């Protein structure tokens, strides 16, 4: 477990003045109002309640630098101990719903809303009822592919306005984590613990610790400090932008074995249109072995293409076919499901069956694979010979001491290797257990350094190992910004393919563009334009790059801006166009380039 501050790990946004989080409020107990009919969802009630809670809204802070999209109202948390304010908007769904009414259509809406606002906000919090929250967190973990930002579900056992509500702590904790840390997973935050979303079950409806993750430790624990298990964070390692899949199959079901279950019951359950079944078997994956008619029904269903995934009725442990009765199920075509929860198994099945781009054999194979951290892959552990040697020299013997040595040495070695493009050393260090998102004293990750220096193979290797394109250093720069500032065109291209986008505001972009214009650096201007920057962007004085190029007498820049068709009629704060300045300054050559009649 490691403590994270900006100068210790760049996956923290802790020194950023502001971060932006979108809350998608689907319903649930957290925002319910007490009426004569009992607790029920009430439109616009939650957002108004939040304004009266000082730990969740500071009404005196000026928010002019952030203009929320789609007329959303923004609220802002007080400054955290990490020096960051979290600005957040609440998007309330209509109608608000009890989580018992959750559906695959709503899952699709959540996924599409995240995609719509993905480049505007730094993280997302989903407010949801607790009864089906584990299903939603599991489903979204599969629907949201190649994530680079934090997605956190939370809710409450008691409405947020009640005196003894757990909702305030749950929402505040989720906002702080989403606004301060880049944890690129769908997670669930409850009772001071952050869980992987596809590992949780709801096991308590009377206490605040409503959720448990029986086969996987929490990703973070929130106490006096926020301690994140960075080595446990799941990263896809694919060089792809964030994208979503919303086509989920509803022809799925859960079949629980019980003593006395009949072959007829099983046959009826497996009839069309059923396409995928989660079989809750006994113990470590066992089923009745002395009733061949039961086994035969499973065989016939598998033969006609029904996918059956075998998981245990036990919360802890995994399916193991070392027993004869477990092997029987595997032999007829039933797929072992390791230690998946029922919620994860069902939503994974629904997700794969909805993928029309996959054939049946591929779907069978992927059911057994670890797609989003939903199951435990049993591998042998290779000790770090290097760390053990250092520990021995320092006479360190405890696990805590060795972990401390590792956390001190690996970031330095990784960053040094990345800065010179030494892929061989990067590979050796990651095999020894080094975290590719660790950082140096300036908050710069190995990806920052490799990107700035233009070491394309090192960049590619780090991305394949799960390096975050959204990590920010002490100056709040991402690897994408570093590559742009040093005109590393090939690096910019691969980072963009991997989902990187500009996160900085117009004023900062204008500052960088003006520097490039003064340097007459057309090549770098082209790179910024290819990165998605609008070269009609106006600064605080409403001047565009064309205004600046004319005033600085940079004719090559003017030629380029004319080639891409920038707006000639844009006026600055004094009502002047770029042509007005060209005439006033007698820029004859520039006037000719601008085709002045």
What are residue 92's DSSP bridge partners?
25
Evaluate whether 483 touches 501 at the Cβ level (below 8 Å). Answer: no
Task: Check pLDDT > 50 for residue 13.
Answer: no
Query: In this structure, what token pair is assigned to residue 112?
Result: 């599409």
CATH number 3.30.70.2660 is the correct assignment for the domain at 2-240: no
The per-residue pLDDT for range 387-433, each reduced to its tens digit, is 556 556 655 555 566 566 667 788 888 999 999 999 998 998 888 88
Which of 243-247, 477-481, 505-509, 584-588 shows the lowest mean pLDDT across its residues? 505-509
Q: What is the structure's pLDDT at 10? A: 41
Give the highest mean pLDDT range of 398-402, 539-543, 592-596.
Answer: 539-543
Q: What is the structure's pLDDT at 61? A: 79
Per-chain mean pLDDT for the chain: 90
Query: In this structure, what token pair is assigned to residue 73?
Result: 């109202």
Evaluate whether 487 touches 453 at the Cβ level (below 8 Å). Answer: no
Confidence tier at 14 by pLDDT (50, 70, 90): very low
Residues 6+ apart with CB under 8 A from 536: 544, 545, 566, 567, 570
Q: What is the structure's pLDDT at 2? A: 30
Task: Check pLDDT > 60 for residue 450.
Answer: yes
Which of 192-201, 401-410, 450-459 shows the lowest mean pLDDT across its residues? 401-410
User: What backbone phi and psi angles, to 5 degrees, belong to 101?
Assistant: -95, 10
The per-residue pLDDT for range 275-307, each reduced to its tens digit, is 999 999 999 999 998 899 999 999 999 999 999
Q: What is the structure's pLDDT at 380? A: 40
Task: Check pLDDT > 60 for residue 67.
Answer: yes
Q: What is the structure's pLDDT at 339? A: 96
Query: In this structure, what token pair is assigned to residue 288?
Result: 């009745």
Tell me the average pLDDT across 131-147: 98
Q: What is the structure's pLDDT at 16? A: 45
| Catalytic residue check, 29 | yes
Q: What is the structure's pLDDT at 299? A: 96
Q: What is the structure's pLDDT at 320? A: 79
CATH number 1.25.40.20 is the correct assignment for the domain at 506-593: yes
Q: What is the structure's pLDDT at 5? A: 33
Tell me the average pLDDT across 500-509: 86
**Residue of 29, 510, 544, 548 marked catalytic:** 29
Tell me the average pLDDT across 137-155: 97
Q: What is the structure's pLDDT at 290? A: 87
Evaluate whether 508 touches 540 at the Cβ level (below 8 Å). Answer: no
Q: Please count the CA atoms within 13 angstroms of the CA of 488 that sit on its side-chain side.
A: 23
Q: What is the structure's pLDDT at 1? A: 29
Q: What is the structure's pLDDT at 426? A: 92
What are residue 212's DSSP bridge partners?
201
Q: How far apart are the first and last CA of the chain?
A: 69
The per-residue pLDDT for range 80-118, each reduced to its tens digit, is 888 889 999 999 999 999 999 999 999 999 999 999 999
Share of the chain above pLDDT 70, in %: 91
Query: In this structure, what token pair is assigned to residue 393?
Result: 């020299």
CATH code given to domain 252-368: 3.40.50.40
Task: Check pLDDT > 60 for residue 190.
Answer: yes
Share of the chain above pLDDT 90, in %: 73
Task: For residue 301, count CB atoms less than 10 angstroms from its CB and return exposed for 0-12, middle for 13-18, buried for 19 or more.
Answer: buried
Fold for 385-497, please state it. Answer: 1.25.40
Q: What is the structure's pLDDT at 506? A: 82
Q: What is the structure's pLDDT at 383? A: 47
Task: Check pLDDT > 70 for residue 17.
Answer: no
What are residue 190's DSSP bridge partners?
193
Burial annotation 46-62 (CB, 10 A radius, 16+ → b, else e): bbebbeebeebbeeeee
Q: What is the structure's pLDDT at 384? A: 54
Q: Establish whether domains 2-240 and 506-593 are of one fold.
A: no
The structure's pTM equals: 0.84
Q: What is the structure's pLDDT at 9? A: 43
Q: What is the structure's pLDDT at 381? A: 38
SS3 letters for 431-478? HCCCCCCCCCCCCCCHHHHHHHHCCHHHHHHHHHCCCCCCCCCCCCCC
Residues 6+ apart with CB under 8 A from 317: 215, 284, 339
Task: Check pLDDT > 90 for residue 273.
Answer: yes
Confidence tier at 183 by pLDDT (50, 70, 90): very high
Q: What is the structure's pLDDT at 507? A: 85
Q: Please count the CA atoms within 13 angstroms of the CA of 306 that sit on its side-chain side.
A: 26
Tell me the average pLDDT across 328-354: 96
Q: What is the structure's pLDDT at 324? A: 73
Q: What is the structure's pLDDT at 440? A: 87
| Domain edges within the chain | 2-240, 252-368, 385-497, 506-593
């Amino acid at each position: 477990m490691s403590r994270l501050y900006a100068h210790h790990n760049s996956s923290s946004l802790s020194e950023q003045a502001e971060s932006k989080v979108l809350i998608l409020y689907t319903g649930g107990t957290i925002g319910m109002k007490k009426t004569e009919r009992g607790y029920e969802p009430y439109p616009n009630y939650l957002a108004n309640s939040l304004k009266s809670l000082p730990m969740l809204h500071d009404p005196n802070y000026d928010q002019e630098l952030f203009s929320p999209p789609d007329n959303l109202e923004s609220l802002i948390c007080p400054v955290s101990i990490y020096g960051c304010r979290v600005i957040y908007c609440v998007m309330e769904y209509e109608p608000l719903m009890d989580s018992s009414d959750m559906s695959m259509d709503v899952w699709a809406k959540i996924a599409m809303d995240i995609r719509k606002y993905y480049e505007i906000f730094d993280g997302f919090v989903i407010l949801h009822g607790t009864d089906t929250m584990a299903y939603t967190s599991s489903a979204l973990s599969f629907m949201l592919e190649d994530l680079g930002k934090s997605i956190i579900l939370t809710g409450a056992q008691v409405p947020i306005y009640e005196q003894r509500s757990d909702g305030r702590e749950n929402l505040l904790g989720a906002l702080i984590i989403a606004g301060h840390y880049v944890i690129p997973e769908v997670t669930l935050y409850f009772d001071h613990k952050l869980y992987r979303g596809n590992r949780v079950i709801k096991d308590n409806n009377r206490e605040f610790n409503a959720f448990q993750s029986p086969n996987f430790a929490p990703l973070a624990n929130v106490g006096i400090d926020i301690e994140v298990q960075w080595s446990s964070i799941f990263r896809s390692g694919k060089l792809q932008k964030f994208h979503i899949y919303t086509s989920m199959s509803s022809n799925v079901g859960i079949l629980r074995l019980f003593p006395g279950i009949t072959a007829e019951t099983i046959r009826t359950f497996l009839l069309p249109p059923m396409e995928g079944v989660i079989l809750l078997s006994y113990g470590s994956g066992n089923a009745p072995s002395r009733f061949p008619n039961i086994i035969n029904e499973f065989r016939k269903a598998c033969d006609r293409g029904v996918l059956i995934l075998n998981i245990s009725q036990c919360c802890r442990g995994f399916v193991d076919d070392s027993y004869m009765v477990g092997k029987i199920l595997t032999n007829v075509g039933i797929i072992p499901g390791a230690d998946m929860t029922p919620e994860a198994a069902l939503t994974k099945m629904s997700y794969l069956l909805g993928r029309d781009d996959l054939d049946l054999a591929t779907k069978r194979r992927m059911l057994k694979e670890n797609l989003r951290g939903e199951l435990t892959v049993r591998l042998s552990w290779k000790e770090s010979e290097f760390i053990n040697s250092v520990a021995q020299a320092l006479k360190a013997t405890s696990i805590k001491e060795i972990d401390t040595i590792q956390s001190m040495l690996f970031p330095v070695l990784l960053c040094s290797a990345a800065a010179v493009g030494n892929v061989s050393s990067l590979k050796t260090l990651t095999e020894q257990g080094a975290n590719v998102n660790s950082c140096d004293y300036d908050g710069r990750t190995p990806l920052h350094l490799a990107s700035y220096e233009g070491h394309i193979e090192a960049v590619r290797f780090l991305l394949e190992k799960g390096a975050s394109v959204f990590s920010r250093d002490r100056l709040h720069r991402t690897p994408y910004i570093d590559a742009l500032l040093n005109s590393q065109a090939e690096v910019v291209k691969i980072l963009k393919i991997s989902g990187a986008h500009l996160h900085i505001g117009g004023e900062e972009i204008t500052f960088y563009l003006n520097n490039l214009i003064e340097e007459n650096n057309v090549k770098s201007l082209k790179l910024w334009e290819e990165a998605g920057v609008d070269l009609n962007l106006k600064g605080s004085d409403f001047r565009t790059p064309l205004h600046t190029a004319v005033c600085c007498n940079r004719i090559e820049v003017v030629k380029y801006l004319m080639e891409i068709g920038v707006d000639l009629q844009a006026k600055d704060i004094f009502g002047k166009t770029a042509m007005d300045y060209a005439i006033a300054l007698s820029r004859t050559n520039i006037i000719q380039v601008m085709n002045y009649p």
